[in-house]
Structure formats: structure tokens, C-alpha cells
Structure 1
Amino acid sequence: MAASRSRPRPGFGELLRAWRDRLSPSDAGITVTSGRRAPGLRREELARLSGLSVDYVLRLEQGRATSPSAQVVGALARTLQLSRPERDRLYRSAGLLPPQDGTVGTHVPAGVQRLAARLGDVPIGVFAADWTLLWWNAMWTALHGDASMLPASERNLARALFGDGIARASMRPVRSERGHDAFAASIVADLKDAASRYPADAQLARLVQDLRNVSDDFARHWATGTPGPHTTDRKTIMHPEIGEILLDCDVLVVPDADLRMVTYTAAAGSRDAGKLALLRVTGGHTAPAHP
């Protein structure tokens, strides 16, 4: 169900500026240099971490953009690491109803973000119960590509596996040690489990219906699979610059928030650990950007 909108309330821009100034750059995963003057996040940092343009964030702060979407407000709330009451206040100041109980949560608690930010050497992505990517670090981008280049609606693992849109086209080749069919079935099983817990979530129902319409494999797994969680796996990612990287993929569940924190690691001293180290240094770009 789309968020209901009332007349925007004054103060949205003031809240953004105040909470941007409050957030420590290190808690957001940003390396602080000695010459830094900004007390909190810079405007361009907030924009980049939220997947927005700097100009749009500027217009929001100045009150010249007055109708941000629920997706934009949610992205800003996550980046600013707001508490639930603060998040709800930001929604209301934008003239929107906060997310309601009984729907898939998109709130990433500040503690989860701080923990993930401190593990900057590890590719980490935080997913909602419907496998929508909510938060990711620089190493995730280096390994899988920049999710901020995708529309928010396409940042979904199930759409990448079974859909026919941008998400599928942009997904780098991944080979599961358990086999593609077993990996795909486990994602559907987890999605089926989420659907049983959030029967009133219209967005989740739409996702399931869309994928049943476009993918015979999804429809088959949905019809025959048993609900259950997707957990540990070993995956080979075909990186366009580094080549094949074999990594342990672990899924850590945040129960109270119903989130999945996906991490990729390799044994110390292994060849694949060396490839991850190269990704850290290069950001995934080993060749020069221009001839």
C-alpha cells in the first residue's frame, strides 16, 4: 500500500541538517582525515550514502523540494541512523505516514550500521525480509557493483535472480557451491516465509506476483517449496576486473528488526583473501578509467 501523503510540515530541511551534523562520519563508514572541518556528514556524503544527487539533498534542506517519496525518506533515515521515533518524525515532516506495523521493515538500527561500518574490510549488505538491499558498504560495491545506480525498486535479490528487469541484467555472475537451483530455491523459501509473516504487505505481495508472472522457475519453487531461511553458502563471484573469487557467504539474522546481514569472507592467507585485499585497494577497478 502506497504511503498516504498529507500537507508537508515545516522542518524537514532543518531535521536533515541537524541530524546530518550529528552523525559521526566514522559511524557511517567514512575515513576521517586530519584536515576535516565538518562536524558530521557533508552534504555530498549524505547524498552518496542515500543514493541521491547532491543537488536534490540541497533542495530538500533548503525547502525547495517539498514532496520527497517514502523511498527517499526511508533512505535518508537509514543513512542518518535515526531511531524509530526519529524516523517517524522525519516521515511526518515530509507529509507522509510512517511505515506501519505488519509490513516488511526497512529500518536498519544504528547499532547494526555501526557494526557493519567497523567491518569495512568485509563486503556487507543488509537486506529486508523481502530481500531488498537496504544498506551496503564500499567493499560490497567493489565486489557486486554499485547498487545506488539501480532504482530502489530493483535493489532486490529475488528480482535479480528471477526478474526480467535492470536488477537481473546488472547482477554479476554468481555460482553457488550448492548449485544454482538449490540457491534459488532457498531464496524463494525465505521469501515464502516472509509472506507468511507479513500477509498484509502489499509491496511483498506485488513482488511475489510479478515474479510468478515472469519466471517459471520462481513459480515452480513457490508452488513446491517449504518456507525456510536462507543461510550459509560458498559462492564464486565472477568479477569483471579480478576474475573468479571463491568466498564464504554467511547470512546473519537481526531478529528484532527482521533483517539479513550478508557477509563475504575468505580464509586468511588464501588466494581469494588476496583478491579481496586487491578489491579493498582498487575499489574493484584495476584498469585506468581512461586510456
Structure 2
Amino acid sequence: MAPTPLGEYLRARRAQVSPGDAGLPAGSRRRVAGLRREEVALLAGMSADYYVRLEQGRERNPSVQVLDALADVLRLDHDARDHLLRLAGAVPRRRRSGSRERVDPQLRMLLDAWAGQPAIVLGRAYDVLAANALGGALLDLLPAGVNLLERVFCDPAARSFYADWDAAARDATAGFRLRHGEAPDDPRVRAVLDDVRERSPEFARLWARHDARGKAAGTKRLVHPAVGELDLRMETFDVRSAPGQELVVYHAEPGSDTARNLALLGTLAADATREWLSRS
């Protein structure tokens, strides 16, 4: 029987938990870097045969209690635990949607009201669905249909735009894995996954790790070609009216060099818009 997504996930995650992490002696004759199947089973309080059936796809209906025990053994955080539950069918997935995503007009008005803060709306497949003027200038969103996963892995300029590209790549992959787990049959999600996996060996390697986590509040260091370094705080909010969409807002410490560079970027963007309008 072919492995299920749940089985693939369990196998990938146990490979990334060392015996020491689980409180077990490492030993000198181990053939695997992570935990053995029987070790996971022992720590989770189940038979080795039952756990093997889970990995092989012969057991498809584990209880929430079993999944919680596995999440503890595999050291899964909140997002990764939810991903595990979703793969096992314990949490409903979003319905498949072939419709084009749209941004609520009220949300667009909110974006524009934050004139001094870059803000964007991401769709279920990391497509940028909307941005305010400063958000568009920050991420260079002049071309239509920009996808942030494609931007990170397939645009050579991303290597210099993200001061820590490796971290940006890991975060983008883990975030997309979470989206994929929510709606694996969504045509747009599948199309982006297939395209980027084919074009980027680095993405394919990171995808095989099965890391799954959402965007978290934190600092992003970007190097914008027009204004230089920007240390921005990033906040992410789920869009309640459109499941799968996220509002991402960036802001700078008041009075900082980043705040001044961000203001300069806003001026440059406004000047470029006025010049474009005068020619049209």
C-alpha cells in the first residue's frame, strides 16, 4: 500500500528528532539519524506494529489522543500539530476551490489607510492579492500576479533582497506546507507547488523536510535596491471573511534609520506614480 501524506509526514519528522532530544541514549550502532519506529511507538505509548501501520498507510483513522501523543514525541509546535491533525483527518480541510480569490473592498480600504506602513494580502497559494502603495514599493509588486514563493526561490534578486535568504527560504517553504495541508487539492496551490518544485532544487530539498509553520510576528531584514537596509517588524493576521487569506503588515521603530528609509521609499513611490500618471 502506498504511503499516505500522514505516513510521509511521520517518517520525515521522526528523522529530525535525535535520541538525545527524546531523552534516549544515542548509542554507537544506529543506522538512522533520528528516532527508530519502535522508539516513537514506545515513547507515544502504542505498539510498534500500530505505529508501523500508520507510517505505511495501513492505519488511516488514529484517534486525537494518539495524534497528540505523537505530536509530543516528535516535538511538534502548535502549527505543526494542527498540520498533523489535518493530515489525519481529525481537523476539516478547506473545500477545494477553483474560483479566483478576491479581496474584500473593506480590507482594501484598510490597506490604503495605512499609508505609512507597508501592507499586503496573501492568498491561499502565496499570491499577493492586494497591497497598499508602500507595500507595493517595498516588494516591487509592479508586475501583475506576483507569487511570494516563486519570488523567493525563482527570482535571482531575492538572494540580495532578503538579508538572510536561507531563513526566508525555510520560512516560505514551511508556511506553504501549512497552506498545502489545509487545501491539498486546491488547483492553484498544486500549480504553484509543482512549478516551484520543478524550477528550484533548493525548494524541493526543503519541501522534503515536511516543516510546517505559519508566519509569526518577528523582524525581517531586507535590503531594498532603492533605499538600502530595512529592519522591519512583521505582523500577520488571518482574514476571517476569507479563510486562507492573510494580512501582512510591516512597521519600523519610530525615529530609526529604517523609519527614515521607509519614508524615503514612500516618497520615491509617490513620485514614480505621479510620473506614470502624467505620461498616461
TM-score w.r.t. structure 1 length?
0.55
Partner of 1:173: 160
Residue type at the aligned position of 2:265? L
Alignment of 1:114-129 (within 5 A): 114-129=109-124
**Is the aligned partner of 1:261 residue 2:247?**
yes
Partner of 2:135: 140
Give, in angstroms, the shift of residue 234 of structure 1.
1.7
Larger CA Rg, structure 1 vs 2 = 2
Residue type at the aligned position of 2:162? R
Give, in angstroms, the shift of residue 263 of structure 1.
1.6
Residue type at the aligned position of 1:125? I
- Report Cα offsets for 1:16-41 as digits up to 9, x if no partner: xxxxxxxxxxxxxxxxxxxxxxxxxx
Change in 2 beyond 3 A, CA 1:259/1:114? same
Residue type at the aligned position of 1:106? E
Residue type at the aligned position of 1:107? R
**Is the aligned partner of 1:102 residue 2:93?**
no
Contact 2:150 2:196 (C-alpha < 8 Å) held by counterparts = yes
Change in 2 beyond 3 A, CA 1:188/1:229? same
**Is the aligned partner of 1:203 residue 2:198?**
no
- Report Cα offsets for 1:99-137 as digits up to 9, x if no partner: x95227622122221211211111111110211001011
**Is the aligned partner of 1:194 residue 2:189?**
no
1:157 to 148, 152, 156: 148
3-state SS, counterpart of residue 106 of structure 1: coil
Residue type at the aligned position of 2:258? D
TM-score w.r.t. structure 2 length?
0.57
Partner of 2:16: none
Aligned residue pairs, count: 178
Which runs of no fewer than 5 residues in structure 2 stay unpaired? 1-93, 276-280
Give, in angstroms, the shift of residue 203 of structure 1.
2.2
Alignment of 1:1-291 (within 5 A): 102-103=96-97, 106-145=101-140, 147-148=141-142, 150-152=143-145, 155-163=146-154, 168-169=155-156, 171=158, 173-175=160-162, 179-257=164-242, 258-283=244-269
Give, in angstroms, the shift of residue 170 of structure 1.
5.7
- Cα RMSD (Å) of the superposition? 2.6
Give, in angstroms, the shift of residue 265 of structure 1.
0.9
Residue type at the aligned position of 2:266? R
- Report Cα offsets for 1:147-171 as digits up to 9, x if no partner: 23x242xx101101122xxxx1565
- What percent identity do the matched residue pairs reach? 25
- Report Cα offsets for 1:84-113 as digits up to 9, x if no partner: xxxxxxxxxxxxxxxx95227622122221
- Report Cα offsets for 1:187-231 as digits up to 9, x if no partner: 112211211221221221121112211212211111113322122
Poorly superposed stretches of 4+, deviation over 6 Å: none
